[in-house]
Amino acid sequence: MDKAFIQRRRRDLIVAACLALLATQVPRYVTDVYIQNMMIMTLMYAALSQSWNILSGYCGQISLGHALYFGLGAYVTAILYTKFGMLPWFGMCAGGLLSAVIAMALGYPCFRLGGHYFVIATIVIAEIALVLFQNWEWAGAALGITIPLSKQDSWLTLQFAKDKLPYFYFALALACVAWFVTWWLEDSKWGYWWRAVKDNPVAAESLGVVVFNSKMGAAAVSAFLVAVGGGFYAMYVTYIDPESVMGFQFSLLMALPAVLGGIGTLWGPMLGAVILIPLTELTRSYIGGSGRGVDLIVYGGLIIAISLARPQGLVSLFSRKRKPAAQPVREAVAS
Amino acid sequence: MGLLYGLIAVGLALIFGLMDVVNFAHGEFLMIAMYATFFLFAFFALDPLLAAPLVAAALFIFGAVVYLLIVRFAVRAKANTGMVQIFSTFGLAVLMRGVAQYFFTPDYRSIPHSYLGGKTISIAGIYLPQPQLVGALIAIAAFAGLYFFIHRTDFGRALEATREDAGAVALVGIDKNKVFALGWGLGAALVGLAGAVMAIFFYVFPDVGASFATIAYVTVALGGFGSVFGAFAGGIVVGLVEAMTTLILPPSLKTVGIYGVYLLIVFIRPRGLFGSI
């Protein structure tokens, strides 16, 4: 094993630990509820984007239907809590497992599709789920589910009416877990398989990588983490309806931080979320309040500018001095 | 309706077939075409049918400009090429929607009275709304024109040749960028035509493109990406499926039928009905 590589991984871990420790101290100085909400959203999207990155970035299977897993996580958690009185912790795990199973069930036919056919299939499947949930009376149909507030705050039921801080720590933990899972997988057998599958599936297959299984693995891990994020979101906003947790915009909002920061990189989604989410929130509240779409203009312009100017993502700005990473084999298979 | 879906989709298919790029702002092209028709009507009292050629011409220029300003650079990206294409056209879609909201406000608008609006025609006892019927005829004419254009003119041949092998085409002195720009213009002009017809019987609002765009992707994928004839056939299939599902299922589940058929077909034939490669 390359010594520099081990060093880099160790340094990544230390930097992440320091950042997480720093983050736990932030709420001491930031007491504004609006800003706290923004930080929670940033951390949540960082976690989601990191999870999305596992399937789409590392394994190269671009999914624009991850809202499905997000929504499933939110719905399973909310339904188990409101209808069966089960703790949200259990609901999140159940939602995660269900999503992982569904991801594999859907992956079975979908992973045979190539390129754009796959992307469109993911969009279409999420849209079907959205319409079904909108018409499913038992699950609240288009009206959604309201999670009743309990009288006292508790970590057991994840309900904190008085302040947002516990949610902040939960979101932080979520982001840390997603980051750590990515870090850990990056140097595992799976991580290498995924990158091989992304760069050149035919070559990977010929060298003994079971392409199909590695895609399934990536889908399952990715869906599980996203669904846990969905469960957290449901408990945080205490009200969900199909459009607000399964809409196409969620699939996009999960993908964009990773695209902005750098697809298939460890730090990309984090960096992207830290820049993108506050920016979105700020434009929305300061100039977008008129409902006239200025926030959309800023947002759209930003996406175009970034994807044209920095296709590798912003992370590449930091790593310029380092030894260039292995060139993707993409050019070779561009035919 | 199916033929109109086909007409919306064929522009997408053309662009994709030409340069392997899915234009995620296609629905927004439709949206501005509808707005253009609406404003031509509102300010100059121009009937949508007369406005259609003007709108198509305007969209042609718009499409070419989009290619020259954005897509040209997106396909040149060194890393993550596929991603860059998806997200740059997607960013364009978001941008256009924002601009539309800013200038036109999110209100729903419709053309209150036009030559064809609201009229029906009865053929052997079946009542058909005239705008849709004329739309279908225009769509068929556009397809015929496109077929002729691709197979019988120099530019059409250049288009086909560039699709086959862009490198070789450059060697015989055809400017790749020019062909691509014209292809984008043509694709946009087709969706402009569709938008002008749709404006007769459909509301115009900034998000109108979104719902039709998803159907357009499905239509194109059904037929097989890049196949112009496939888009035509896909449009008819989608139209039929839509009509059938409304018979069996409640209207709110209409799109489920279309999407379901898409999944069914690509699972059986991963390259679409008429896809070649």
Q: How confident is the model at residue B236 (pLDDT cuts 50, 70, 90)?
A: confident
In the prediction, which pLDDT does A152 show? 64
Say if residue A162's pLDDT is above 70.
no
In the prediction, which pLDDT does A205 show? 75
Residues B106, A293: C-beta atoms closer than 8 Å: yes
**Which residues have C-beta within 8 Å of that of residue A21, sequence separation ≥ 6?**
none
pLDDT tens, position by position, B97-107: 878 777 776 67
- Read off φ and ψ for residue A57, nearest 5 degrees: -85, -55
Say if residue B130's pLDDT is above 80.
no
In the prediction, which pLDDT does B128 show? 59
In the prediction, which pLDDT does A38 show? 81
The identity of residue B111, as a single letter, is: I
Say if residue B223's pLDDT is above 50.
yes
- Read off φ and ψ for residue A156, nearest 5 degrees: -65, -45
Q: Of B90, B102, B225, which is closest to A297 when you measure between CB atoms?
A: B102
Map out the domains of chain A with their CATH numbers. Answer: 3-326 (1.10.3470)
- Tell me how far apart the alpha carbons of residues B126 and B124 are, in angstroms, rounded to a whole number: 6
Q: Give the number of domains in chain B.
A: 1
Judged by DSSP in three states, B272 sits in: coil
Residues B79, A328: C-beta atoms closer than 8 Å: yes
H/E segment holding residue B128: strand B126-129
Mean per-residue pLDDT, B59-85: 74
Say if residue B122's pLDDT is above 60.
no
- CA-wise closest residue to B191 among B13, B17, B18: B13
- Read off φ and ψ for residue A145, nearest 5 degrees: -120, 135
Q: Is residue B276 part of a domain?
A: no
Q: How confident is the model at residue A330 (pLDDT cuts 50, 70, 90)?
A: very low
Q: Is residue B219 part of a domain?
A: yes
Q: Is residue B148 part of a domain?
A: yes
Annotate B202-236 with b (16+ C-beta within 10 A) or e (fewer): bebbbebbeebbbbbbbbbbbbbbbbbbbbbbbbb
Q: Is residue B277 part of a domain?
A: no
In the prediction, which pLDDT does A332 show? 42
Annotate A138-147 with b (16+ C-beta within 10 A) or e (fewer): ebbeeebbeb
Mean per-residue pLDDT, B269-275: 66
Six token digits for residue B56: 């198509």
Domain hosting residue B188, numbered range: 2-118+125-268
Residues A252, B96: C-beta atoms closer than 8 Å: no
Q: How confident is the model at residue B81 (pLDDT cuts 50, 70, 90)?
A: low
pLDDT tens, position by position, A168-199: 888 888 888 888 888 888 777 777 777 777 77
Q: Of A113, A307, A311, which is closest to B78 when you measure between CB atoms?
A: A311
- Tell me how far apart the alpha carbons of residues B106 and A93 are, in angstroms, rounded to a whole number: 40
Say if residue B212's pLDDT is above 60.
yes
Percent over 70 (pLDDT), chain A: 84
Range of lowest pLDDT (A297-306, B38-47, B246-255): B246-255
Say if residue B118's pLDDT is above 80.
no
Q: Is residue B273 part of a domain?
A: no
Q: Please tell me what DSSP assigns to residue A333.
A: G
- CA-wise closest residue to B66 among B19, B8, B3: B19
Dihedral sign, Cα of residue A140, residue A243, residue B8, residue B163: negative
User: Helix crossing, A268-286 with A294-309: angle to 10°?
Assistant: 150
Judged by DSSP in three states, B110 sits in: coil
Mean per-residue pLDDT, B64-88: 73
Mean per-residue pLDDT, A7-29: 78
Mean per-residue pLDDT, A78-86: 77
Residues A300, B93: C-beta atoms closer than 8 Å: yes
**Which residues have C-beta within 8 Å of that of residue A154, sequence separation ≥ 6?**
none
Distances (CA, A) of B17 to A18, A160, B12, B20, B225: 50, 54, 8, 6, 6
- CA-wise closest residue to B33 among B9, B45, B51: B51
ipTM of the complex, rounded to two decimals: 0.73
Q: Which residue has the tokens 């990544």?
A: A12
CB A226 within 8 A of CB A70: yes
Cα A160 to the center of its chain, rounded Å:
24
Q: Hey, which residues does A200 pair with through a beta bridge?
A: none
Residues B88, A303: C-beta atoms closer than 8 Å: yes
In the prediction, which pLDDT does A151 show? 63
The identity of residue A217, as a single letter, is: G
Say if residue A200's pLDDT is above 80.
no
**Cβ atoms within 10 Å of A208's Cβ, excluding its own:** 8
Mean pLDDT of chain A, nearest integer:
76
Six token digits for residue A240: 């969900």
Q: Is residue B226 part of a domain?
A: yes
Which residue is closest to B105 within chain A, CA to CA?
A292
* C-alpha triplet B198, B199, B205: angle, nearest 5°: 110
- CA-wise closest residue to B198 among B11, B66, B49, B18: B49
Distances (CA, A) of A184 to A28, A310, B86: 31, 27, 29
In the prediction, which pLDDT does A156 show? 63
pLDDT tens, position by position, A296-327: 777 778 778 877 777 777 777 766 544 444 44
Residues B98, A293: C-beta atoms closer than 8 Å: yes
In the prediction, which pLDDT does A254 show? 82
Say if residue A100's pLDDT is above 80.
yes
pLDDT tens, position by position, A134-147: 777 777 776 777 77
Q: How confident is the model at residue A155 (pLDDT cuts 50, 70, 90)?
A: low
**More confident call, A94 vs B169:** A94
User: Best mutation site among B105, B259, B269 for testing chain A: the one with the most A CBs within 10 Å?
Assistant: B259
Q: How confident is the model at residue B210 (pLDDT cuts 50, 70, 90)?
A: confident
In the prediction, which pLDDT does A157 show? 64
Write out chain A residues lying below 8 Å of B100, CB-based.
Answer: 293
Say if residue B170's pLDDT is above 60.
yes
Judged by DSSP in three states, B70 sits in: helix
Say if residue A328's pLDDT is above 60.
no
CB A145 within 8 A of CB A240: yes
Interface of A with B in 102-131 (CB under 8 A): 109, 112-117, 119-121, 123-125, 127-128, 131
Q: Is residue B35 part of a domain?
A: yes
Say if residue A47's pLDDT is above 80.
yes
Residues A120, B259: C-beta atoms closer than 8 Å: no
Q: Is residue B275 part of a domain?
A: no
CB B101 within 8 A of CB A292: yes
Alpha-carbon gap: A87 to the closest alpha carbon of chain B (Å): 33
H/E segment holding residue A120: helix A115-134
CATH of the domain at B31: 1.10.3470
Say if residue A85's pLDDT is above 60.
yes
Say if residue B115's pLDDT is above 60.
no
Write out chain B residues lying below 8 Å of A301, CB-based.
Answer: 91, 95
In the prediction, which pLDDT does B264 show? 79
